[in-house]
């Protein structure tokens, strides 16, 4: 039963860390109370995600040497201190950037990679599904925090008070869950054949993973960082815009489980398939009219965006070995950090300049569509046609069970 306890602790860690995806629920209150612009708010969110990815590179190596428990505990402390600094900032943009962006980002990276890599080691035969379940916690965390934030603020809390609650409450939960992490055999499994970023870039599969991760996360993070303001700009009431944040998170969480399951059946073909679906969803969001359409499409975009966080760890494990996920996957995740640093801020700045988010969404559609086409071509050349054959068979009426064709 120990492996199930590890997975439960990992999901709990991810759920707390996933509160970062509720950032757009903070943006209007930071603007009204402290004058933080859409571009500045997007930059704080983006820096948190970029710091997360850089921290993951170092944390991934450390947790292989010292075990996941110690590194995850350090991440809990960094996360708690970061939001405490943000709560004491008085609305100062530099201090918000330091606390909620940089320090909390370090905590995000440490906790994320430890929870993910540890769970995969316990379930090597179902890596796609287990990855999806664990990272679903990250996607679902925004559901809780977005609704909790609105309830607390309506009850008289300030947005900085909510940050203080996150630092103390969420930081403590992550700390307790981190103490439950362990690997099979009680010691870190030795990573074999792992390479650094400079050597990995020579691997064509790694390059395909980088492109796919960037193409999928650029549009998703642009939407996440600006979803509530995007709804308000379209004339929706605040309650509907907040609901869209919640349903996006629901779609994100459920999508991670679904795409992880689909990966175990289709292998590499699930990557371009997910990017194509994301392009369609982003185009629909740009064209959505009315509250119902906006909410439904937001859920669909979240569902396809969630694929990024289930598919790529599973493909890294398939190509480089499950014992190397903690070392290799953080390098793939750097593409997510680049998306986080650019996409939310670009969306906010385009709105500041033009008064519309439509141009940014159109650009995100193009990025996802190009990513789908190129990753299909690259991965087909690397993996062979078996994945495409599996996809065709899985859509046929007489489909049978199939393993990972990649």
Give a yes or no: residue 329 inside a domain. Answer: yes
Query: CB–CB of 301/249 below 8 Å?
Result: no
Higher pLDDT, 135 or 373: 373
Confidence label for 144 from pLDDT (cuts 50, 70 and 90)? confident
- Rounded to two decimals, what is the model's pTM? 0.75
Give a yes or no: residue 403 inside a domain. Answer: no
- Number of domains, the chain: 1
Q: How far is CA 243 from CA 23, 44, 99, 246, 360, in A?
A: 14, 23, 27, 5, 22
Lowest model confidence (mean pLDDT) among 55-59, 201-205, 301-305: 201-205
Query: CB–CB of 295/243 below 8 Å?
Result: yes
Give a yes or no: residue 400 inside a domain. Answer: no
Range of the domain at 177: 2-187+200-394
Give a yes or no: residue 111 inside a domain. Answer: yes
Query: CB–CB of 24/228 below 8 Å?
Result: yes
Q: Which two tokens stand for residue 249?
A: 């998170």
CA distance 169 to 331: 31
Mean pLDDT score across all residues of the chain: 86
- Is the predicted pLDDT of residue 393 greater than 50, yes or no? no
Q: For 281-338, write each residue's pLDDT tens digit.
A: 999 999 888 899 999 999 999 999 999 999 999 899 888 887 788 889 899 988 988 8
Give a yes or no: residue 231 inside a domain. Answer: yes
- Is the predicted pLDDT of residue 190 greater than 50, yes or no? no
Give a yes or no: residue 215 inside a domain. Answer: yes
- Is the predicted pLDDT of residue 394 greater than 50, yes or no? no
DSSP state of 191: P
Residue 302: give its domain's CATH number.
1.20.1250.20
Confidence label for 100 from pLDDT (cuts 50, 70 and 90)? very high
Confidence label for 344 from pLDDT (cuts 50, 70 and 90)? confident
CA distance 70 to 186: 13
Query: CB–CB of 78/69 below 8 Å?
Result: no
Q: What percent of the chain has pLDDT over 90?
A: 48
Give a yes or no: residue 195 inside a domain. Answer: no
Confidence label for 388 from pLDDT (cuts 50, 70 and 90)? very low
- Is the predicted pLDDT of residue 17 greater than 50, yes or no? yes
How high is the pLDDT of residue 113?
A: 92
Q: For 87-99, write each residue's pLDDT tens digit.
A: 999 999 999 999 9
Other Cβ atoms closer than 10 A to 234? 17
How high is the pLDDT of residue 43?
A: 87
Give a yes or no: residue 193 inside a domain. Answer: no
Reported as type and span, the H/E element at residue 98 is none
Cα 15 to the center of its chain, rounded Å = 11
């Amino acid at each position: 039963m120990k492996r199930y306890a590890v997975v439960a602790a990992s999901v709990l860690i991810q759920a707390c860390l996933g509160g970062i995806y509720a950032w757009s629920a903070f943006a209007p209150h930071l603007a009204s109370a402290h004058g933080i612009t859409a571009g500045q708010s997007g930059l704080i969110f983006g820096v948190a995600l970029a710091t997360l990815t850089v921290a993951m590179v170092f944390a991934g190596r450390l947790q292989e040497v010292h075990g996941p428990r110690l590194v995850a505990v350090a991440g809990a402390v960094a996360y708690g201190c970061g939001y405490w600094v943000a709560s004491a900032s008085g609305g100062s943009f530099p201090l918000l950037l330091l606390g909620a962006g940089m320090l909390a980002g370090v905590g995000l990276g440490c906790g994320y990679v430890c929870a993910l890599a540890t769970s995969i080691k316990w379930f090597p035969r179902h890596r796609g599904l287990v990855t999806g379940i664990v990272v679903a916690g990250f996607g679902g965390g925004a559901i809780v925090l977005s609704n909790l934030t609105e309830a607390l603020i309506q009850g008289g809390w300030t947005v900085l008070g909510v940050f203080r609650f996150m630092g103390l409450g969420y930081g403590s939960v992550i700390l307790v869950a981190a103490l439950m992490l362990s690997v099979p055999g009680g010691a870190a499994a030795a990573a074999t054949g792992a390479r650094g970023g400079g050597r990995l870039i020579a691997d064509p599969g790694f390059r395909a993973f980088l492109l796919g991760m960037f193409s999928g996360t650029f549009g998703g993070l642009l939407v996440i960082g600006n979803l509530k303001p995007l709804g308000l700009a379209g004339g929706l009431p605040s309650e509907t815009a907040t609901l869209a944040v919640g349903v996006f998170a629901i779609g994100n969480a459920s999508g991670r489980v679904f795409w992880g399951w689909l990966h175990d059946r289709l292998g590499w073909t699930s990557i371009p398939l997910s990017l194509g679906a994301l392009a369609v969803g982003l185009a629909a969001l740009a064209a959505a009219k009315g509250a119902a359409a906006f909410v439904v499409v937001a859920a669909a975009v979240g569902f396809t965006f969630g694929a990024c966080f289930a598919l790529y760890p599973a493909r890294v494990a398939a190509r480089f070995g499950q014992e190397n996920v903690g070392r290799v996957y953080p390098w793939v995740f750097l593409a997510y950090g680049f998306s986080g640093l650019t996409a939310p801020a670009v969306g906010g700045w385009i709105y500041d300049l033009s008064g519309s988010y439509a141009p940014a969404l159109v650009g995100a559609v193009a990025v996802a569509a190009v990513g789908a086409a190129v990753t299909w071509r690259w991965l087909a050349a690397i993996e062979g046609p078996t994945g495409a054959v599996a996809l065709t068979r899985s859509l046929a009426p007489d489909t049978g069970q199939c393993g990972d064709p990649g």
